[in-house]
Structure 1
Amino acid sequence: MIVTTANDIAGYEIVEYLGVVRGIIVRSTGIARGFVGGIRSIAGGNIPEYVAVCEEARGHAYQLLIEHAEQVGADGIIAMRYDGSEFMQGSTEVLAYGTAVKIRPVAG
């Protein structure tokens, strides 16, 4: 599966657009990370505990995106993006989305 943030895939021709695919996850910080992160936030700066939660959520959303694309028979995903928001206090929603496509190598 080729995934790109571009609107095309170098060396390939898009032969069919299969529609929007997505992966969504809602992740909470958990008690331990939330407590340690809260203490660190007093001092300001980067908060590694919160970064870890965001990275895990982003990775899981990406995997769900790939699974959705495979379900619709895609060879690739173009215009892939992430979107995130606070779902409720202490919980973050991460959405990975893009356009599923069928592709074939450009004859050359």
Structure 2
Amino acid sequence: MIITTTSTLESRPIRDYLGLVGGEVIVGANVFKDIFASVSDFFGGRSGAYESSIQEARAQAMHEMEGSARRLGADAIVAVDFDYEVIGKNGSMLMVCVCGTAVKLG
């Protein structure tokens, strides 16, 4: 399946627009990640634990979106957009949302 942030595909005409598809994932931060992130913040550098969680959540949300598009019979998803929000008590959770338009190619 072709997945792109652009609204068109070069040399691949869109025949039908099948509708919006999306995927949402909410992940919680745990104590161990918070401890390692605090150490990274103190000494400087990146927090691999949090980066890994965000990458995994994004991949899961995309997988969910792609499944929805396949059920519609889509060949591609165009105009894909990502949104990240911190939610929950004290911002303890991260929500990753991805959406796009499922299309049938000509």
Give the gaps of 5 or more residues in structure 2: none
The amino acid across from 2:80 in the alignment is M
1:31 deviates by: 2.3
Identity of aligned residues (%): 29
Aligned pairs, number: 104
1:58 deviates by: 0.7
Give the gaps of 5 or more residues in structure 1: none
1:54 deviates by: 0.7
Q: Which residue of 1 aligns with 2:75?
A: 75
TM-score normalised by L of structure 2: 0.89
Partner SS state of residue 40, structure 1 = helix
CA separation in 2, counterparts of 1:87 and 1:73? 33
CA separation in 1, counterparts of 2:75 and 2:32? 40
CA separation in 2, counterparts of 1:44 and 1:85? 24
Q: Which residue of 1 aligns with 2:52?
A: 52
CA separation in 1, counterparts of 2:85 and 2:46? 18
CA separation in 2, counterparts of 1:30 and 1:52? 13
1:73 deviates by: 1.5
Alignment equivalent of 1:91, drawn from 82, 90, 93:
93
TM-score normalised by L of structure 1: 0.87
